Amino acid sequence: MLTPLTGILLLSSSAVSADISPMEQCLGQDDLQRLACYDRLVEAQQKARLVAEAKIETTPSIKVTQVEEAAPIPVATILQSLWELGDNEKRGPFVVRTYQPNFLLPAHYTSSINRQPQSPTLGLADLQENYKPIEAKLQVSLRAKMLEDVLLPNADLWFAYTQTSMWQLWNSQDSAPFRSTDYQPEVIYVIPTAKYLGNLPLGWSMQMLQLGFVHQSNGQSEPMSRSWNRIYAAAAFERDQVGFRVKVNRRIPEQADDDDNPDLTSFLGTTELQLSWLPGSATASLTRKMSWNDFSNGSWQLDLTYPIDKSKADGLRVHLQLFSGYAETLLDYNHRQNSIGLGFMLFNF
């Protein structure tokens, strides 16, 4: 029979037992019982440890990947790498690299499609009534170094090729023809200048001087044939993330009977100014072609790009191009238009 005193004693006993550690509970027993008690305690501890480890292994881990914005890179660093201006950047001859931007603009709209090209010496071409103002613009441009250390220290000789096409991609009525294609082989002599002109006023530096010979033609027969040969001198300057390039062209004269476009430079211009900005992942480039004696002709072109994947700055990029003026192509050299194109910069290496 339980009395109130007995209940108090039992509660007190339970409280004391709760304060005794498992190891102490094995004391006070004979040897066999104490050994068996210890074995049970060790086995229980091992099971508890295995259960805890299993929980850790099966707990799903959440991995958070943060894509960081590309840090701005000085234009000088980019120019030195692209044109291999220093000893550390040299990659040897016959390594193919990109030159001008390589892009596909499947949505290219012009305010005035040139349905009937003409020139002073060849007259009017046939009227193409079905040409549409929306087409695609495609450019592929590659280069390779032919010789290293030519005449001057670290001066290299390059060969480049650029092909630009206007493609009536959306013109199913005429089976999507290529309206115009310009072919441009080029020889470029590149002279590094940062060693001598690396500390110009206001923080600018001159990175390189280029001397070149260019043949450009559209490969068509008369009266659509257009071509010219020229030599040029260009200088590239930079300040932090801003680049500036000035290029002066000199047309090589042709026989009057062979000149398909004698007034080409009066529309296209002889001077090219290009301002570039590389603030990080994005790029921006503004190009002005003109003649100093006639600012009404020539052209303006703005190119903006942004990477599809910010962790791969050299990968596929969205490309927006705005153009206003003359000579977006050779065939359109004397045809004024405004155009906008949207697509992708394909590759850059």
Active-site residue list: 215, 217
Tokens standing for residue 341: 């194109």
Residues linked to residue 238 through DSSP beta bridges, in sequence order = 205, 243
HSE toward the beta carbon, residue 330, CA cutoff 13 A: 24
Pick the closest to residue 128 from 182, 183, 181, 173 (CA basis). 173
Measured between alpha carbons, how far is 311 from 292 in angstroms, rounded to an integer?
43
C-alpha 61 chain-centroid distance: 35
C-beta of residue 198 within 8 angstroms of C-beta of residue 161: no
